[in-house]
Structure 1
Amino acid sequence: MRVIVIGAGLAGLSTACHLVGSGHEVTVVERQDGPGGRGIRRTQDGFAFDTGPTVLTMPGLLADAAAAAGSRLADLIHLERLDPAYRAVYADGSEIRVRHGIEAMRDEIAATCGPDDASAFPRFAEWLRRLHDVEMPHFIDAQFDSPLDLLRSPVAAATLTRLGGFRRLGPVIRSWFRDERLHRLFSFQALYAGLPPDRALALYAVITYMDSIEGVWFPAGGMGQVPAALAAAAERGGAELRYDTSVRRLIRDANGAAAGVELDSAERLRAEAVVCTLDPPTAYRLLLPELRPPRAVRGGRYSPSAVVWHVGARGEPGPGIGHHNIHFGTEWSSAFRALVDDGRLMPSPSRLVTVPTLSEPQLAPAGHSVLYVLEPVPNLTGTVDWRREREPMRERLAIFLAQNGYPTDVVTEHLVTPLDWARDGMHLGTPFALSHTFGQTGPFRPSNLERRVPGLVFAGSGTVPGVGVPIVLISGKLAAARVRAYLPDATPPPRRTVRAPL
């Protein structure tokens, strides 16, 4: 059975890998000139900028996708654990490093925050593990057809309730630790869910588990090697990947079912099913203009956005700077209120600076550095005029870098604002899609099925289960399962493992 996947980002490539392994004939069409989607690699003036996520966790999900297509992940990509995973810097000049391993992190907390918080950390880590173990199989890596599906695992739901998963994340973290710096360190991940920590459900501490307990990884060659590896696995499994190929419209048969796509070139690709990884509002506007989008798509609350400044600079960072550096501002709750409620820039913002050349110097010329600087900002429903604010933002980021020991002799750069995200098809200029409020999670999030168009399936951060590298990999797996249920007659190929040549 032939399936077309629109988009060669991580969700689309995961879908392709899982489908070729079950015997489907898969064609992936991608408008850009290579794999990666939002994380495609940009090269300029001898520097390589990986434009998407910089933090890689849960590599087992990558391995699962590669294995589904008949490849071993280790034959496609080499991953190194980052230890420390993060260097956290506070406004008072103090620092905490997120170390891998319970004992190492307990020692770090003892040295920076004192014995009481250190003694709490092993129990906190165990609580995070238990949250993960109940959430992953029952509420993340799971299909939902209606809210009633929440009741299909009553023991898991009861366990999640008993663990405090439906309390608010901020207060729960404060109940574990006394030091306010730890409150920030173990709750900032709520921003990935598009919410302030004091409003996010504690169940989103599962993100904290992924990076602070399971660990953060980095691939040899940079983050661009992640989609490259999945693309290689999909092609070795038999998928066709067509780059520089844009879809003009969805083809439907006489019964209204998905029957393929028409390209901008007017070429028609026929298929029995189509998987779309576009942001759902964009997908409905471009491919399904005759359909009224689901309520969750047209009226949902969307996450804040981010400005990302990609910098190629002469020189190297000062001593002590890590691969991932989180600089917390003086403000916390008021900063989130400004960002989320008022649609304003954060006062005294917190920022992420990733320096991938500390782990992979070949991303820049010798003696130079690549910097990835991210500041959370409102999406396009906010009050910021990005045509006027673009250059002042760049100037503030340059001053911030200089004040914190980063090289600032800029050779080349690329600044991305919400206007740029919007031009790339991301609704309201945010790459983080719908926020993860309870009413936009699980069965309440836009479904990965469009039941009015049989054979059309969605994958990516705008559908279930949500946002983040591990999560969109799962979304591809779930989308593939939907296709297999719709087209059950495909014959799986003989199982074999393809190894890379020596």
Structure 2
Amino acid sequence: MKDVAAPADRPLLDRGTRHPLKTVAGPTDRVVVVGAGLAGLSAALYLTGAGRQVTLLERADHPGGRVGRYQGPDYEIDCGATVLTLPELITDALAAVGRTPETCEPALRIHQLAPSYHAKFADGATLRVFADPDAMAEEVALVCGPAEARRYRRLRDWMARVYAAEYGEFMDTNFDSPLDMVRTPEKRRALAALVRLGGFGRLGAKVDRFLRDPRLARLFTFQALYAGMPPAQALAVYGAIPHMDTSLGVYFPEGGMRAIAAAMAEAFTAAGGTLELGTEVTGVDYAGRRAERVRTADGRAFDCDALVLTADLGAIDRFGVRRRRGLRAAPSAVVAHGTVPAEVARTWPVQAHHTIEFGAAWDKTFAEIAGRRGRLMSDPSLLLTRPALTEPGLYITRTDGQHEPFSLLAPCPNLDAAALDWPRIGPAYLRELLDVLEERGYEGMAAHFTVDHLDTPQTWRDQGMLAGTPFSAAHVFRQTGPFRSRNFPRTSDNVVIAGCGTTPGVGVPTTLLSGKLAATRITGDRRPLEMKPRVPAR
């Protein structure tokens, strides 16, 4: 695929204006991308499709980054994100090199989950979350009453309008300055629409104006945690996140989330890109303001005309890019991965791929995990993931019968908010969580969950992540949109940043977009293979 963009040494004129978008100046034929997570893979695909010679360096022995895998004794399990939304963004990245999910080797097959989630509340009530509006309204009417179902439809319509106004002009776009928010007629119209929709109020308060049942309100506000904020503090523009989660659908790829990274990596190398696994980058050589060479731990050096860094903000300084000071980190998480005997799991009160197990507390829970002085949840809300219920091929057959892979995620404070001794307290805290689940009806959980991997904030810090959180910088106002850490640092002329710490932010879809936006800074093509925001039926 040929690059038809403006030459990289000339600023690209943004749509509808004469204001130049900053791009890498000078030659950009050879690009090194550091990190084969979703951001790095996305950037590498777009750059390869634009005719660049791309070398992708990854320190692990497999691609994926935070969407990677752990190897158990006789099985593999996703070790990172388990919730996939907007799979179109994967299709777009593959299309940059002329591939589709079906033509990957092996084929990448992605299926929509129905329901997307299954919620269980402290009062024993359960509620399934469907992307289909009629199915969801019927479920809400059954659990919360017909009046609440009508209110849900109005909330759904509001979230769709927020998403439509936000996606093209504020998510899928590069910013050089806060003034870029109003530089084009399209952005001014989108900003005006967000103001009319109340997008700069608070998400929790906005949702409460639509809904009366506090249980239902939780389903459309817990996603604020993805942005690192309590719902009472998160801007209402983040209504776009529950819209993606609850209206646009949650998906699962055959083989697990790790299959996405494998497919993207295969498409990249088949298109001529070079992928070096087990290759840790130790430094970058600069000539003035330009990165010229990337050095690795095995003594090799890779020359470059442009460099894409996907390192976490907590470790980016060692590559010659100064991290913005005073960043506020998002809350972190404790995540346990392992297996459970299938006969035990079949007795549990909920049989679903994704279960959100809500405690009774709500505002207090967010205050505990997201406050400046963090504490462990006194009444935990947890995410349980059981992928074999969707893909039976993931069951593990052992001499004592079938077992299923199982993951438990518990939000917790980051290490800036609570400098806890996780190597010491981690196993004990996990036992407390398992006891809580036992009390909530998950019989046999404490005795039969075999834990093969336990990740804590210390795990993330050891990997170089900001404040020991895999969710990077929180989306407070001063770290959102054009105020977020720039993907084109002012200190260099040819180094670009991608990943969840930069534009547009945290999450699988936004991380994929960040790779595309980083590639744009190098190719000059403002919107390669543009994806229109999807608006579902209301």
TM class, shorter-length: over 0.9
Does the 8 A contact of 2:422 with 2:457 survive in 1?
A: yes
User: Is 1:44 matched up with 2:72?
Assistant: yes
Distance of 1:237 and 1:145 partners within structure 2? 31
**C-alpha displacement of 1:173:** 0.6
User: Is 1:389 matched up with 2:389?
Assistant: no
Does the 8 A contact of 1:61 with 1:473 survive in 2?
A: yes
User: Is 1:208 matched up with 2:242?
Assistant: yes
AA at the equivalent of 1:333: D
Report the 3-state secondary structure (helix = DSSP H, G, I; strand = E; otherwise coil) of the residue aligned with 2:396.
coil
Does the 8 A contact of 1:314 with 1:407 survive in 2?
A: no
Q: Which residue of 2 aligns with 1:330?
A: 360
User: Is 1:102 matched up with 2:102?
Assistant: no
Distance of 2:85 and 2:73 partners within structure 1? 30
Alignment map for 1:165-204 (pairs within 5 Å): 165-204=199-238
**C-alpha displacement of 1:46:** 1.0
Does the 8 A contact of 2:466 with 2:473 survive in 1?
A: no
Distance of 2:421 and 2:282 partners within structure 1? 31
Does the 8 A contact of 1:29 with 1:246 survive in 2?
A: yes
Q: Which residue of 1 aligns with 2:315?
A: 282
AA at the equivalent of 1:469: V
Does the 8 A contact of 1:170 with 1:199 survive in 2?
A: yes
User: Is 1:24 matched up with 2:52?
Assistant: yes
Does the 8 A contact of 2:34 with 2:310 survive in 1?
A: yes
Indicate which of 233, 244, 264 corresponds to 2:267.
233
Q: Which residue of 1 aligns with 2:514?
A: 475
Distance of 1:483 and 1:304 partners within structure 2? 32
Report the 3-state secondary structure (helix = DSSP H, G, I; strand = E; otherwise coil) of the residue aligned with 1:275.
strand
Alignment map for 1:119-134 (pairs within 5 Å): 119-134=150-165
Deviations 1:292-311 (A, max 9, x none): x35xx321111000000002
Distance of 2:72 and 2:286 partners within structure 1? 41
**C-alpha displacement of 1:127:** 1.4
Does the 8 A contact of 2:291 with 2:307 survive in 1?
A: yes
User: Is 1:4 matched up with 2:4?
Assistant: no
Distance of 1:401 and 1:54 partners within structure 2? 20
**C-alpha displacement of 1:238:** 1.6
Q: Which residue of 2 aligns with 1:375?
A: 410
Unaligned runs of 5+ in 1: 493-502
User: Is 1:267 matched up with 2:303?
Assistant: no
**C-alpha displacement of 1:280:** 2.2
**C-alpha displacement of 1:232:** 1.4
Q: Which residue of 1 aligns with 2:351?
A: 321
Does the 8 A contact of 1:315 with 1:407 survive in 2?
A: no
**C-alpha displacement of 1:63:** 0.5
Change (3 A) 1:362 1:43: farther
Does the 8 A contact of 2:226 with 2:506 survive in 1?
A: yes
Report the 3-state secondary structure (helix = DSSP H, G, I; strand = E; otherwise coil) of the residue aligned with 2:449.
strand
User: Is 1:70 matched up with 2:104?
Assistant: no
Q: Which residue of 1 aligns with 2:82?
A: 54
Deviations 1:328-379 (A, max 9, x none): 1111111111222221112201100010111123334131011110000000
Deviations 1:397-429 (A, max 9, x none): 222343433653234521000001111111110
User: Is 1:351 matched up with 2:382?
Assistant: yes
Q: Which residue of 1 aligns with 2:442?
A: 405
Q: Which residue of 2 aligns with 1:431?
A: 470
Deviations 1:105-143 (A, max 9, x none): 000000000011111222222211111111010100011
Distance of 2:220 and 2:444 partners within structure 1? 28
**C-alpha displacement of 1:448:** 0.4
Distance of 1:459 and 1:213 partners within structure 2? 27
Q: Which residue of 2 aligns with 1:499?
A: none
Q: Which residue of 1 aligns with 2:189?
A: 155
AA at the equivalent of 2:213: D
359-368 vs 274-283, greater mean Cα deviation: 359-368
Distance of 1:325 and 1:299 partners within structure 2? 35
Distance of 2:198 and 2:128 partners within structure 1? 27
Q: Which residue of 1 aligns with 2:117?
A: 86
Distance of 2:292 and 2:391 partners within structure 1? 44
Q: Which residue of 1 aligns with 2:489?
A: 450
Distance of 1:340 and 1:38 partners within structure 2? 21
Distance of 1:233 and 1:126 partners within structure 2? 37
Report the 3-state secondary structure (helix = DSSP H, G, I; strand = E; otherwise coil) of the residue aligned with 1:472.
helix
Q: Which residue of 1 aligns with 2:535?
A: none
AA at the equivalent of 1:405: Y
Indicate which of 257, 261, 271 corresponds to 2:290.
257
AA at the equivalent of 1:376: P
Distance of 2:393 and 2:444 partners within structure 1? 17
Distance of 1:468 and 1:406 partners within structure 2? 32
44-53 vs 379-388, greater mean Cα deviation: 379-388
Distance of 1:121 and 1:432 partners within structure 2? 29
Unaligned runs of 5+ in 2: 1-28, 529-538
**C-alpha displacement of 1:20:** 0.5
Indicate which of 298, 312, 337 corresponds to 2:325.
298
AA at the equivalent of 1:258: A
TM-score normalised by L of structure 1: 0.93
Change (3 A) 1:177 1:412: closer
Does the 8 A contact of 1:3 with 1:25 survive in 2?
A: yes
TM-score normalised by L of structure 2: 0.87
Distance of 1:380 and 1:219 partners within structure 2? 33
Report the 3-state secondary structure (helix = DSSP H, G, I; strand = E; otherwise coil) of the residue aligned with 1:281.
coil
Q: Which residue of 2 aligns with 1:485?
A: 524
314-323 vs 171-180, greater mean Cα deviation: 314-323
Does the 8 A contact of 2:280 with 2:296 survive in 1?
A: yes
Change (3 A) 1:8 1:406: farther
Does the 8 A contact of 2:314 with 2:467 survive in 1?
A: no
Distance of 2:276 and 2:370 partners within structure 1? 39
Does the 8 A contact of 2:341 with 2:403 survive in 1?
A: yes
Does the 8 A contact of 1:86 with 1:326 survive in 2?
A: yes
Q: Which residue of 1 aligns with 2:22?
A: none
**C-alpha displacement of 1:192:** 0.1
Identity within the alignment, %: 43
Distance of 2:292 and 2:463 partners within structure 1? 26
Distance of 1:431 and 1:9 partners within structure 2? 13
Distance of 1:30 and 1:364 partners within structure 2? 30
AA at the equivalent of 1:180: P
Change (3 A) 1:154 1:90: same
AA at the equivalent of 2:41: L
Distance of 1:395 and 1:314 partners within structure 2? 18
Does the 8 A contact of 1:5 with 1:26 survive in 2?
A: yes
